[in-house]
Structure 1
Amino acid sequence: MQELLQFATAHPLLIAALGAAVLAIIANEVHGSLTGGKKLPPAEAVRLINDRDARVVDVRPVADFKKGHLLGAVNIPHDKLKARLTELEKDKSKPLIVYCALGGTARESALLLKQAGFAEVYPLAGGLNAWVGASLPVTAK
């Protein structure tokens, strides 16, 4: 403990930078929770797909979608989501799972879908990378 205090006294700028980084991470998580709703880890997403027939929306560009995507996913790139909302209208009562590569764009898309009146929209935590990391299947068909 004494060494920690000595370090903090000798390096106040490093301690301030650490504090700022921690606050930024916390603020980012709080902002994401307030705007994008609950992020689903891959295992919960599988459960929602199997138990409640959730619709899966891939908001990545078409070229990325063709390289590999979740089974049964529909591709509506984030930049075209507003214009193509009618494609999802028939499933407004179903939960929607939205994903991108890492999760950031999916959070923005989830907010847009909630504003459009979709009640249950969940961004996939970690995006496709987390899905693949959990050894879950993807397809290129």
Structure 2
Amino acid sequence: MPTTRVERIAAGWLALEAVGVLVLAAWELVALTRGDSESVPSSLALLVLTVIGAAAVIGFAVAVWRGGSWGRSGGVVVQLLILSIALGSLTGEGADARLAATIAVPAVVGLILLIAAARSAGARSRTGDSEV
């Protein structure tokens, strides 16, 4: 069955977030090559984990585009993790509400899109209609 419009929008949003994670990985690589890190092994490990995270988000985006429920589930987990990072940026010595909002708003949008995609997929599976 073809996916609905809201599922494709949610997949596109996840793909944009994956690009953002890849940009973060590129930034980490530049910092590593400039010698801005105190621990090269830790920086390499963080870089590898960031790239793995980007690959996972890309996988979730592809799965949502194809109508897979596991992609929506993984995408929701990603949004909740991003929201936890936003909450963390509100606490501590360098707390910054603007940074927290900058991080949280895209995650909330993604969460809303993924929930709408799940509802749309459920309605599509009940009716067999691709444009619910």
Q: Same fold (TM over 0.5)?
A: no
More helix by share: 2
TM-score by length of 2: 0.29
Structure of greater relative contact order (alpha carbons < 8 Å, 6+ residues apart)? 2
Which protein shows a greater Rg? 1
TM-score, with length taken from structure 1: 0.28
